[in-house]
Amino acid sequence: MYYCAYCQDKFCYAGELEKVTENCPCKEKALIEEVKTLYSDCENHLLAHNSALVESEGYCQKTRLEEIILFANKCQYKKLGVAFCVGLSKEAKIFCQILKNHGFDVVSVICKNAAIPKEFIGISENEKVRPNTKEAICNPIMQAKLLNKAQTDLNILLGLCVGHDSLFIKYSEAPITVFAVKDRVLAHNPLGAIYLSDSYYRKKLAK
Ligand code: SF4
């Protein structure tokens, strides 16, 4: 098995392949060759090449928003799909307008589209966020299907919940990038929990 997260040396990063240990992915010679051939696939090459260029051009200078615009332009994507959460409607409106101002054709779909009641997926009254009210499911499969229908070149996730994003990713035909992820407690900055894991959040996260 692989445990890169616990590796102190990061020989891969330095390109010192002669020093790597037995469990290192760098030892997987056959798989490495197989994966390298995948980068010659036209779309994979486009994504890999342009994301590397965005990384170097934007390094510590461009925000993620600017990097998304740069990446989409480099890939010559014209039609962008935005799958957003109802809780981030204001942000979605501004985000879509900025993309439009940069010349993109923008299609946006909210999570609550189709208004399918939560009962449909077996959620009981006491399992709702607000029991005894009408609650629609988040509908990421439909978000993906609608963006597929619109034939978007790139889909961008804005604040989808944990798991809803998994379903969107499962059904999207276009490549996906993420502008922001949902974290209702930490102002959509989930890494806050990691940065505080040895201080304020230690007790909360202890196993
Ligand atoms: S790929 Fe190898 S050297 Fe790199 S972090 Fe993983 S175990 Fe360490």
For residues 82 and 138, membership in a common domain is answered with yes
Whether residue 17 is contained in a domain is answered as no
Whether residue 112 is contained in a domain is answered as yes
pLDDT at 204: 86
Mutate which of 3, 6, 7, 27 for ligand 1 pocket (most atoms within 8 A of beta carbon)? 7
Whether residue 175 is contained in a domain is answered as yes
Enclosing H/E stretch for 148: helix 140-149
Write out residues in the chain with pLDDT < 50, as ranges: none
Q: Structurally, how many domains does the chain consist of?
A: 2
Q: Whose CA is nearest to atom 6 of ligand 1?
A: 4
For residues 101 and 193, membership in a common domain is answered with yes
Look-up: residue for tokens 């615009």?
A: 69
Residue 136 C-alpha to ligand 1 middle, in angstroms?
Answer: 44
Sign of CA dihedral 110, 146, 163, 66: negative
Residue 95: give the domain boundaries: 77-205
pLDDT at 30: 97
Other beta carbons within 10 Å of 79: 16
Whether residue 103 is contained in a domain is answered as yes
For residues 96 and 128, membership in a common domain is answered with yes
pLDDT at 206: 83
For residues 49 and 109, membership in a common domain is answered with no
Q: Would the CB of 14 count as within 6 Å of ligand 1?
A: no
pLDDT at 205: 87
Spatial separation of the C-alpha atoms in residues 1 and 68, rounded to whole Å: 34
For residues 98 and 190, membership in a common domain is answered with yes
For residues 26 and 87, membership in a common domain is answered with no
